[in-house]
Chains A and B, each alone.
Chain A
Amino acid sequence: MTIDLKTIKHISKLSRISVDDAKAKKLEGNLNSIFEFIEKLNQLKTENIEPLTSIAETTLKLRSDEVKSKNIREEILKNSPEKNQDFFVVPKVVE
């Protein structure tokens, strides 16, 4: 199968990555050669194979749900691109 420009635009929307026409054109070439490579898998019959979902064949361990970090609100907020008092600021979402 081939991935056309319309599909590229659709994937870019799903990925939340803006793509202009020049970039889409370049991606079209790249992604098609990658998918051509990936589609080698279609040579294999896999109807009766169970998918591998986990390498470690152990049951996941449970641990108690405790807060272990100390009060690090200030340090966390320091990493934010924009803040106001104790809040992260984003563009207006409600009119």
Chain B
Amino acid sequence: MNDIVSQKLTELVQNVKERKISSEEITKAFIDRSNKSKTLNSYITENFSAALQKAKKFDEKPNLDLKLPGIPIAVKDLFCTNGVRTTAGSKILNNFTPTYESTVTQNMWNDGAILLGKLNCDEFAMGSSNETSFFGNVQNPIDKDLVPGGSSGGSASALAANITPITIGTDTGGSIRQPASFTGTVGLKPTYGSCSRYGIVAFASSLDQAGPMSKNVKDCALLQEVISTYDSKDSTSIDFKRNNYSSELTKNIKGKKIGIPKEYRVDGMPKEIETLWSKGTQYLKNCGAEIVDISLPHTNYALPAYYIVAPAEASSNLARYDGVKYGFRSNGENLIDMYEKTRSEGFGDEVQRRIMIGTYVLSSGYYDAYYLKAQKVRKLIKNDFDEVYKKVDAILTPSTPSSAFKIGENSNDPVSMYLNDIFTVPVNLAGLPAISIPAGVDDKGNPLGLQIIGKHFDEQNILNIAYAMEEKINFKNKITDWWIK
């Protein structure tokens, strides 16, 4: 048997079901590994002693019919956890303890999982490097000088470092897929409406989706099966027939039509990405899929539209942080002064920037020029996808325009940071599902991902394609445990 922490989720589940290991042994192993990995800064809040107690309790009367029997899992600190501090990576929520549980995490606990801790992320999920977190940046287990990506950077780092067997992130413009790509892991952004947003700290409500981040496609399918449920507490949750994603997983993708969009071939993209993309295309052909050249003509306008829609929704969602009922408060001379100081001291630079962009584009006289315009462009982007999906079953693209960059490299130039999400953002604007899988390395040996985009509600199809490609790619993450002394 593999050392516990390097086992895949599905292996751990199997071993628990066969009574080969106990929940307590697993939990202890991940806590031990987490304690040795503090330098990565992937946790904001540890839940170790409570997790150990729960594991012992599970072992006393183990329910082996559950899908995640006694499995300890750390989650992004954007999910509200009842009685456990939830910060969203922000000073303004530094001392906030929710009185309720997010539906997605509740689904995990109902299926036997145990909360190991809350993982670092960019403040309110606004960032692509985990550098905007109030709790400091996170290191990429691939290399100490590299960012893990973001906003689910703590999740990606913890997963790649074997601190948690699997995790969940949230993805508004690429926050699951980009960090997965940067750390050599798998990340799925489900169809908008697949996973409930109830209890997730809101960033941009028409784009936010929770999803699994895992070491392989099979684990990803299993967790997606657990977290994706219809929920009346989220008015945009959709009641569609969900598959048993893990048991229906198949490598047979013969006859599937896969589109290759020419607009994703951008200037300045490293040659390795181009090569990897062609290799991926070849693998698909080898699996019996048919490759179709397609065009998504409005791709270039997705990012500018996103930087209107997302900040606009954020400025509205973040209006609730006023220092009155919860969170950080700075004292002021009067009520307005208190609000202004609280928000100025409680939010970091990037969050303030986005609130101000959002406020501006929604302000009197500018709504039509910006917000309405962006909503129309969003329609054009969705129409592009609708059109190509008449001809293809899925789309293959690179996940990111580069591998992980250095800590500090992009932090002074917001626009160059935003460009990281150029391949991931269109998917959120159109509400589609997409998965990033590790596909190879660049000339520095750092992981690169490929993205498979599906039709609405077609998670099973993109999981299957990813599963078939994963076998051909046979990617092995080279992680040396440099942070463990």
* Contacts A/B (CB < 8 Å), 21 sampled: A15-B315, A16-B336, A17-B344, A17-B352, A27-B353, A27-B356, A34-B353, A34-B418, A41-B308, A51-B379, A56-B431, A58-B238, A63-B232, A69-B99, A69-B100, A75-B97, A79-B325, A79-B326, A79-B327, A81-B329, A91-B331
Q: Does any Cβ of A come within 8 Å of B15's Cβ?
A: no
Given A15-B359, A31-B353, A91-B338; A50-B379 close (CB under 8 Å): yes
Query: Roughly how many angstroms separate A16 CA and B238 CA in the complex, as a whole number?
Result: 35
Across the interface, A52 reaches (CB within 8 A) one of B235, B315, B382, namely: B382
Per the bound structure, the CA–CA distance linking A31 and B363 in Å amounts to: 15
**Bound CA–CA A19/B343 (angstroms):** 10
Contact B356 A31 (CB under 8 A): yes
Give the residue name and chain of the B residue nearest to A74 (CB).
B99
- Cβ contact within 8 Å between A50 and B376: yes
In the complex, which residue of chain B has the Cβ closest to the Cβ of A1?
A: B369
CB distance from B387 to the nearest CB of A (A): 14
Interface stretch (choices B32-40, B108-116, B297-305): B297-305
Q: Does B375 contact A (CB under 8 A)?
A: yes
Q: State which of A46, A75, A80, A93 has its C-beta within 8 Å of the C-beta of B380.
A: A46
Residues of the A chain whose Cβ atoms lie less than 8 Å from the Cβ of B239:
61
A23 to B37, CA, bound (A): 36
How distant is the Cα of A76 from the Cα of B193 in the complex, in angstroms? 29
- When the two chains form their complex, are residues A46 and B353 in contact, meaning their CB atoms are under 8 A apart? no
Interface band, chain B: 35 or more
Could you tell me which A residues sit within 8 Å of B by CB distance?
A: 3, 7-8, 11-12, 14-19, 27, 30-31, 33-35, 37-44, 46, 49-56, 58, 60-61, 63, 69, 72, 75-76, 78-82, 88, 90-93
B207: min CB distance to chain A, Å: 9
B357 within 8 A of A: yes
Q: Which B residues, 409 to 428, have Cβ-Cβ distances below 8 Å to chain A?
A: 413-415, 418
Question: Max chain A CB contacts within 10 Å: which of B323, B363, B376?
Answer: B376
CB-CB under 8 A for A17 and B340, given A34-B357, A80-B326: yes
Most buried by B among A3, A33, A51, A92: A51
Residue of A with least CB distance to B326? A79
Is there contact, CB below 8 Å, between A46 and B373? yes
Contacts of B459 in A (CB 8 A): none
The CA of A17 and the CA of B314, in the complex, are separated in Å by 14
Q: Is the CB of B193 within 8 A of A81?
A: no
> Of the candidates A14, A17, A35, which one forms a contact with B347 in the assembled complex, judged by CB atoms under 8 Å apart?
A17
Residues of chain B with a CB closer than 8 A to A33's CB:
413-415
Minimum Cβ distance to chain A for residue B87 (Å): 12
Residue among A16, A92, A93 making CB contact with B322, cutoff 8 Å? A16
Against A, the Cβ 8 Å flags (1 = close, 0 = not) of B231-250 are 01001101100000000000
B484 on the interface (CB 8 Å rule)? no
* Complex Cα spacing A55 to B340, Å: 34
Q: Please state if A91 and B334 are interface contacts (CB–CB under 8 Å).
A: yes
| B300 x A40 contact (CB < 8 A) | yes
Contact B304 A38 (CB under 8 A): yes
Rounded to whole angstroms, the CA-CA distance of A40 and B374 in the bound complex is 11
Most chain B beta carbons < 10 A, residue from A34, A60, A61, A82? A34
Contact B338 A90 (CB under 8 A): yes
CB-based nearest B residue for A76:
B99
Is B332 interfacial (CB 8 A cutoff)? yes
- Flag B86-103 by CB within 8 Å of A: 1 or 0 each: 000000000111011000
Task: Establish whether residues B339 and A52, one from each chain, have CB atoms under 8 Å apart when the complex forms.
Answer: no
Tell me the complex Cα distance, A55–B189, Å: 15
Task: Report if A18-B99 is in contact (Cβ < 8 Å); known contacts: A55-B430, A60-B235, A93-B335.
Answer: no
In the complex, are the beta carbons of B97 and A49 less than 8 A apart? no
A61 to B379, CA, bound (A): 24
B343 touches A54 (CB 8 A): no
Knowing A30-B414, A79-B97 touch, does A11 contact B356 (C-beta < 8 A)? yes
